[in-house]
Amino acid sequence: MKKFILFSAMSLILSFSIITLSAQTKTAEIRKDQPDGELLNGIRIIKLSISTPINNLYVYRGEEVELIFEKAGYPFSVHIPQLNASGNAVSGESLSLNFKASNTGVYSMVCNGKCPAGDGQQFAKIVVMEYDGNSKSVTFKNVTPEMANELIASQKPFILDVRTPGEFQSGHITNATLIPVQQLANRIGEIDSLKDRPVLVYCRSGNRSIPASQILIKNGFNKVYNMQGGITGWMKEKLPVSK
């Protein structure tokens, strides 16, 4: 009888462990699809506290990122060497750290001062993810320049160029409208009537168009196409450009 009770207890513990592990795995899988913080004017803003331990911070490749550390009662500094981002805060002041997530990968963030992990130790990891089109958190679709050209011919989308005015003047896709990504959130009302129309978004190389597409999705646009490779990829395929 004792052996049976012991066996039953061990079985329950094992079953609970398996369920817990499955739940943790499922949570991790979902978590990888969701970038941290929020997009404001084309910049991903992530608010942090230097006194709170962090594991990973997730962002998408191509995003401009700003980490905002709240005020602390002591001086501290934060460094992300591989992303050329570094900043110092004196006692009682907040700290903003800016970088561009140009390439996918995992980047170490080191803290100096009174940090949870200790002075000079890794404070967190920045995980730069590639948007693969299957994420549950965003619903825009990636297209190649060739696919974009076919889309223009078949569906007559609104073409949105999110580069700078100077870049636009040097050459753009015919009939494209310029709204720099930094201005898009504030100027969304200018194109609000196009929410049900296909929108093709592009930039120079395919980086800035990702946060621009996210801004459109967030504001209710439901047929957003992000052109990978940007105008650079478009021109490599010898597709037409207007000036």
Which of the residues are catalytic? 203
Position 175, amino acid: N
Residues 6+ apart with CB under 8 A from 117: 53, 111, 123
Give CA–CA dist 120/92, Å, rounded.
20
Paired sense of beta strands 141-143 and 64-69, if any: unpaired
Paired sense of beta strands 121-129 and 105-113, if any: antiparallel
